[in-house]
Amino acid sequence: MTTTRDAFLAKIRAAQPAGRTRPDVPLFDTPPGDRLERFRTALAAMGGTVVEGESLESVRALLHERFGADAIVASAVPGIEGNRALTADTSPASLQDVDAGVVRARFGVAETGSVWFSEDEYIVNSIGYLVQHLVVLLDPEQIVDGLQDVYRRDDFNAARYAVLVTGPSATADIEGVLIRGAQGVRSLTVVLLAS
């Protein structure tokens, strides 16, 4: 027996255009200046923060200092224990009351100050949107120059889900009042720490 939903999805599948190859994205000249400094500047312009990390212990100390001993923490980073379990079976909605989420970005983009995640880094995609504060570990050696470099990476092409995150959530009303954390994380802190 075909349901209305199945019939609807079958019509959508039948109406899909034929596949085509993606166009080549040109490589642009690399801007002058240090890649890491360009990343820091771009992220700061978007409301994010960059801090130096010395070890996983320093990240645990940062979490305790910023969010307190009673904070609810969900971590997708081995070696950073959260008090909220995060597994592939975790219900996405269960992260709605998490104070801080901890993830490791696969790479960063100097041009925009963005960090890149796939389903492998997030484990549960809602960690990037429902938690109050996102703490991102980033190996400074894994920063690419620009967005055109992202499309050339094998990990980008292999991911089923990918997202570039640039700073905390923000919105501005008609009078230009900027509000951070309106529809997502209230703060984004990138901790520079080698893999």
Average pLDDT per block of 10 residues along the chain, 195 residues long: 84 89 81 94 94 95 95 96 92 95 97 95 93 96 94 89 88 74 84 95
Indicate whether 134 belongs to any domain.
Answer: yes
What pLDDT shows up at residue 181?
A: 65
Domain interval for residue 75: 33-192
β-strands 107-109, 178-180 pairing:
unpaired
Indicate whether 5 belongs to any domain.
Answer: no
Indicate whether 106 belongs to any domain.
Answer: yes
Q: Considering only CA atoms, give the Rg of the chain.
A: 19
What pLDDT shows up at residue 116?
A: 96
Indicate whether 86 belongs to any domain.
Answer: yes
Indicate whether 8 belongs to any domain.
Answer: no
pTM value? 0.84
Helices (H), 21-153: 35-45, 56-67, 119-122, 127-130, 147-150
Per the structure, how many domains does the chain have?
1
Q: Say which amino acid occupies 189.
A: T
List the CATH number of the domain containing 132. 3.40.50.10420
